[in-house]
Amino acid sequence: MSTLSDTLNTLCTAQALVDTPLGPVRVARTAAGIAGLWFEGQKHHPGELEAPMRPDDPLLRRAAQALQRYFAGEAAAFDLPLDLHGTPFQRSVWQALLRIPAGRTCSYGEIASAIGAPQAVRAVGAAVGRNPASLVVPCHRVLGRDGSLTGYAGGVQRKQALLALEGRG
């Protein structure tokens, strides 16, 4: 079974590091779109990629500008082509995350129900945790059933800051 890091090292054509108020974010792209966007050092981060650093790549520059607008409070959604790699179940969870509007949250159970798998709450949690495009695919908008700030691969403090930025914290 191939790891995300293996997949990205095979498919990614370029990457860039973008400074944000919550720490550096690595953005990786394939020929088809953004394949990864992570806070440096976050849980499930694929580590160093072999793709060349190309901050001047048009799509990576667009992603950097979108991140700047997001952190300036000017835009809460990202209009970027995505090329996310995961299992069909993971991709269905990530698609459900894309439908959560800024300023709103939902529970893992609500995501499970939305994808037609109401008994798969733990599997949904695992898929949310493996989201390869943090921020763009807004996994920070998922809370525990009781509204608690449950785990976030980028850290609970970042999750809290992102929700506050979106007017939900």
12 is catalytic: no
Cα–Cα distances in Å, from 131 out to 16, 57, 83, 84, 119? 19, 23, 12, 9, 20
Helix, strand, coil fractions of the chain, as percent rounded to 5: 35, 15, 50
The token pair at 140 is 């920070």
Active-site residue, selected from the candidate residues 139, 162, 163, 165 = 139
Region of 65 on the Ramachandran plot (φ > 0 left; ψ -120 to 50 alpha; else beta)? alpha
Catalytic residues, by residue number, are 139
